[in-house]
């Protein structure tokens, strides 16, 4: 057959066989050799290669330039870039105790000292370290002439090469953001701080004994989702209160924090959001589910083959103000959502630049280099909640 080759052959016999399959003429399915009718992309080329890339055919009738821009996920934790300085510091004040009013405890013959010193109790936390990486590609001047019909087609090829590089850069940013969030989730679990066991709470309130499997049954799913909606709204309200909840506090430097709705970020597994829209939302249920500010749906946390799972050995803030590495890896499944203050995590570009080399006169090519100095941070002293479906 001509498909996947450069020959031309009649297709009638193959189409007749397919018709027999489609109409039920064949009582049982017959073996159809799919390579004979499905054109499959392949790196094996049936013509000569160009002398430089060894990947492009020298003769071609029409070229489809597959140039599709990619937008990375979790952009809500990307923060402003920073150029100067190696250490980022964060200053915060700890509340001090109130005092008795001296105006109503005056004694004859004695004075009141209004110059007593009470210094602000300041705490400084520091973010160290940067990650560096580079990427480059080569642009040829005229060695690829035999692979294209003219300068316009060659220009489109170069644009495709540059676009592919940008896609890889964008996905790199996304991968680092996923890593940043996975460490935050793992650190919260390892510290047992701000962890909500949704099914455990729901079962305790309702007297049910649902599991992550049985809750998906139609009779169970609708009421659970409505409960979950209310629970997440309540958690958002609690995060807005000035308190020590849902954060790791440094002993002696406990900082009262609050997360306004405008500073709240929510990331939820898209499977749940999609299921909610398809199975629950109706005229009798508010279709603005997750109308919390700064909400994003993601299809997986760490591994696309295991969407609801992370497996990390996190580092997190200890109560004494030092960093602690979890003794064992945190392998957690059924992660439903993360709610956090916008300052709790982020990725930032410390320095990002690109430059082309001068043309290599002997080889007739130019290299384009991209350099990246990035930082990925977690601040466990800020409020954060991990919701588990267990």
Q: For residues 72-92, give the mean pLDDT.
A: 62
Look at residue 35 in the predicted model and tell me its pLDDT: 42
Return the DSSP state at 43: S
Q: What's the pLDDT score for residue 333?
A: 92
pTM: 0.73
**Angle subtended at Cα 250 by Cα 245 and Cα 253, rounded to the nearest 5 degrees:** 100
In this predicted structure, what is the pLDDT of residue 4? 41
Tell me, what's the pLDDT at 251? 82
- pLDDT attached to residue 165: 79
| Model confidence pLDDT, tens digit, residues 253-309 | 778 888 888 889 999 998 888 888 777 665 444 555 556 667 888 888 888 888 898
Bridge partners (DSSP) listed for residue 297:
268
The distance of Cα 91 from the centroid of its chain, to the nearest Å, equals 27
What would the pLDDT profile of 12-60 be if each residue is shown by its tens digit?
A: 554 455 455 444 566 554 444 444 433 333 334 444 545 545 545 444 4
Alpha-carbon distance of 277 to 279, in angstroms, equals 6
pLDDT computed for residue 146 by the predictor: 65
Q: Are 181 and 301 in contact (CB under 8 A)?
A: yes
pLDDT for the residue 362: 87
> How far is the first Cα of the chain from the last one, in angstroms, to the nearest whole number?
54
Residues 364 and 110 sit within 8 Å (Cβ to Cβ): no
146-188 tens-digit pLDDT: 666 777 777 777 777 778 778 877 777 787 788 888 888 988 9
Q: What are phi and psi of 288, to 5 degrees?
A: -100, 35
Cα–Cα distance between 386 and 338 in angstroms, integer? Answer: 5
| Mean pLDDT, range 183-198, rounded to an integer | 92
**Which two three-digit tokens encode residue 261?**
């709705």
Which residues are CB-neighbours of 23 under 8 A, at least 6 positions away? Answer: none
């Amino acid at each position: 057959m001509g498909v996947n080759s450069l020959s031309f052959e009649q297709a009638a016999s193959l189409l007749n066989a397919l018709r027999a399959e489609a109409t039920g003429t064949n009582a049982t399915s017959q073996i159809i050799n799919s390579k004979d009718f499905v054109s499959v992309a392949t790196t094996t080329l049936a013509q000569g290669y160009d002398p430089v890339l060894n990947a492009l055919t020298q003769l071609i009738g029409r070229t489809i330039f597959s140039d599709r821009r990619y937008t990375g996920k979790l952009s809500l934790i990307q923060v402003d870039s920073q150029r100067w300085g190696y250490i980022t510091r964060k200053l915060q004040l700890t509340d001090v105790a109130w005092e008795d009013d001296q105006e109503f405890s005056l004694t004859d013959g004695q004075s009141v000292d209004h110059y007593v010193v009470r210094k602000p109790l300041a705490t400084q936390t520091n973010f160290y370290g940067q990650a560096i990486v580079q990427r480059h590609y080569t642009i040829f001047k005229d060695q690829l002439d035999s692979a294209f019909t003219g300068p316009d087609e060659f220009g489109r090829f170069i644009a495709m090469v540059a676009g592919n590089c940008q896609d890889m850069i964008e996905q790199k940013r996304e991968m680092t953001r996923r890593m940043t969030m996975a460490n935050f989730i793992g650190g919260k679990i390892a510290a047992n701080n701000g962890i909500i066991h949704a099914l455990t709470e729901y079962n305790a309130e309702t007297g049910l004994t649902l599991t992550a499997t049985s809750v998906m049954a139609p009779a169970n799913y609708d009421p659970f989702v409505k409960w979950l909606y209310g629970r997440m709204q309540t958690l958002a309200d609690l995060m807005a209160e000035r308190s020590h909840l849902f954060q790791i506090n440094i002993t002696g430097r406990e900082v009262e924090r609050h997360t306004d709705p405008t500073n709240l970020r929510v990331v939820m597994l898209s499977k749940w959001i999609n299921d909610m829209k398809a199975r629950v939302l109706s005229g009798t249920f508010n279709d603005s589910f997750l109308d919390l500010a700064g909400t994003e749906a993601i299809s997986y946390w760490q591994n696309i083959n295991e969407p609801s799972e992370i497996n990390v050995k996190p580092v997190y803030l200890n109560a004494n103000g030092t960093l602690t590495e979890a003794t064992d890896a945190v392998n957690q499944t059924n992660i439903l959502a993360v709610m956090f203050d916008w300052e709790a995590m982020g990725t930032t570009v410390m320095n990002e630049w690109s430059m082309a080399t001068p043309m290599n006169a002997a080889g007739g090519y130019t290299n384009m280099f991209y350099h990246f100095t990035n930082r990925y941070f977690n601040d466990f002293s800020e409020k954060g909640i991990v919701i588990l479906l267990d």
